[in-house]
């Protein structure tokens, strides 16, 4: 029993260390590309629940669930490396923001479904799965912004 508890605590510490490192990279790349970190956090939480080893049946991998072609386009050699994955994912979000004229709902829909698919439908995203994805990211973004504002109100770092 005691050994199991120690293993659980050890795993929890390791996982939180990974999350701290990932948050640092998210903060850094969000700043570089001019995207609010709370949005980057929301995408990561929606895509992988902060699991750097996450994979999808469609072939996406890592924290921001990069598809192989996206990884190649953004010169990622290891999709499971937090720094590379987040750099490419945030750069891709910035590109989508620009392609969608600053409309974050369309940019997030494009991140989920692919820009080509969203663009072909007249910049509409009527897939129930994509609508749900955009709503989830929006909810998490608002929650993250609220938490940031509360930290500032208490005098803590943002």
Residues with a known catalytic role: 47
Q: What is the DSSP letter of 123?
A: S
- Nearest one of 156, 130, 144 to 36, comparing CA atoms: 144
The pair of three-digit structure tokens given for residue 48, joined into one six-digit string: 């992988």
Q: Which of 59, 132, 137 is nearest to 96 (CA)?
A: 137
Cα separation, 61 vs 137, in Å, equals: 18
């Amino acid at each position: 029993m005691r050994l199991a508890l120690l293993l659980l605590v050890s795993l929890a510490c390791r996982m939180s260390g990974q999350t701290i490192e990932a948050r640092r990279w998210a903060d850094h790349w969000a700043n570089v590309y001019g995207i609010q970190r709370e949005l980057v956090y929301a995408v990561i939480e929606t895509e992988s629940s902060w699991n750097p080893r996450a994979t999808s049946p469609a072939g996406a991998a890592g924290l921001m669930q990069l598809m192989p072609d996206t990884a190649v386009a953004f010169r990622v050699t290891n999709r499971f490396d937090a720094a590379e994955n987040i750099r490419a994912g945030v750069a891709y979000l910035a590109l989508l923001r620009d392609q969608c004229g600053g409309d974050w709902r369309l940019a997030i829909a494009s991140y989920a479904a692919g820009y080509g698919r969203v663009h072909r439908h007249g910049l509409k995203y009527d897939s129930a799965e994509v609508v749900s994805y955009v709503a989830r990211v929006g909810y998490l973004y608002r929650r993250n912004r609220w938490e940031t504002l509360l930290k500032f109100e208490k005098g803590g770092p943002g």
